[in-house]
Structure 1
Amino acid sequence: MKKISIIFGSTTGNTERVAEIIKDNMAECEVTVTDVCNAKDEMIKSADTVLFGASTWGYGEIQDDFLEYYNSMKSELLSAKDVAVFGCGDSVGFSDVYCRAVDLIIEKASECGANVIGEGLKVDGDVDDNVSKIEAFAKELV
């Protein structure tokens, strides 16, 4: 059974909700969902695939809780690991930096030698308006 670790940072609960929807659509996998504040290296080491999730705040910045983790990401842990990224944002109010956190995490994971899967899932606005998109993303990863 494929092991998936989902590590997310969420201020309002939207990114956490996306993480749970992803998990619910990976029934044939062993999935753990963890707030980034509680993430441990073993969660990455033991996983076949790691999903990182963070929303974009301010003017294109990574969500506060995830930022510290982002700054500590290292090659020793991520090299050759399959990684996918998702996040929430607002394309109406911040079109020029929409879901920039997703792009930044993809860049960092790539720099650390991870095998980044896909372009990343960018959830615009209300999570409920994006459920089919989130479900499709999850199913592509299994």
Structure 2
Amino acid sequence: MKKVSIIYGSTTGNTERVAEMIKDNMAECDVTVANVCNVKDDMITSADLVLFGSSTWGYGEIQDDFLGFYESMNSGLLSGKEVAVFGCGDNDGFPDVFCEAVNLITEKASECGAKVIGEGLKVDGDVDDNIAAIEAFAKSLA
């Protein structure tokens, strides 16, 4: 059984909700979901696949809780690890930096030697308006 760790940073609860929805759609996997504030290295090193989730704030900034983890990401932790990224954003209010956190985390994971799989999931606005995309993303990784 594929072991998956979903690690997220969420301010309003939307990214946390997406993380849980992804888990619910990966029933054939052994999935652990954790707030980035509670992450231990073994949650990454022991997983076959790691999903990182962060909302985008301000003008293209990574969510506050996730930022410290992002800055500490390194090749010792991520080299050779399969990684996928998701996040929430506001395309209407910030179209030129929509879900920039997804782009930044994807780039950093790649720089650390991770094998980024799939295209990052970018959830626009209300999570309920994106259920089909979230389910498809999860099932593509299972």
TM category (shorter chain) comes to over 0.9
2:59 alignment partner, SS class: coil
Matching residue of 1:77: 77
- Tell me the TM-score normalised to structure 2 length: 0.99
1:26 alignment partner, SS class: coil
- Tell me the TM-score normalised to structure 1 length: 0.99
Matching residue of 2:35: 35
Q: Does 1:111 align with 2:103?
A: no
What's the % identity of the aligned pairs?
Answer: 78
1:91-110 per-position Cα deviation (integer Å, ceiling 9, x unaligned): 00000000000000000000
Rounded Cα–Cα distance in structure 1 between residues aligned with 2:122 and 2:23: 17
> For structure 1, which runs of at least 5 residues remain unmatched after alignment?
none
Rounded Cα–Cα distance in structure 1 between residues aligned with 2:93 and 2:49: 33
Q: Counterpart amino acid of 1:52?
A: F
Give the RMSD, CA atoms, in angstroms. 0.3
1:50-100 per-position Cα deviation (integer Å, ceiling 9, x unaligned): 000000000000000000000000000100000000000000000000000
Q: Per-residue deviation at 1:119?
A: 1.9
Matching residue of 1:126: 126
Rounded Cα–Cα distance in structure 1 between residues aligned with 2:39 and 2:74: 14
Q: Counterpart amino acid of 1:118?
A: G
1:104 alignment partner, SS class: helix
Matches within 5 A, 1:46-57: 46-57=46-57
Paired residues, number: 142
Rounded Cα–Cα distance in structure 2 between residues aligned with 1:118 and 1:4: 15
After TM superposition, the runs of 4+ consecutive aligned structure 1 residues lying more than 2 A away are: none
Q: Counterpart amino acid of 2:73?
A: M
Q: Per-residue deviation at 1:118?
A: 1.4
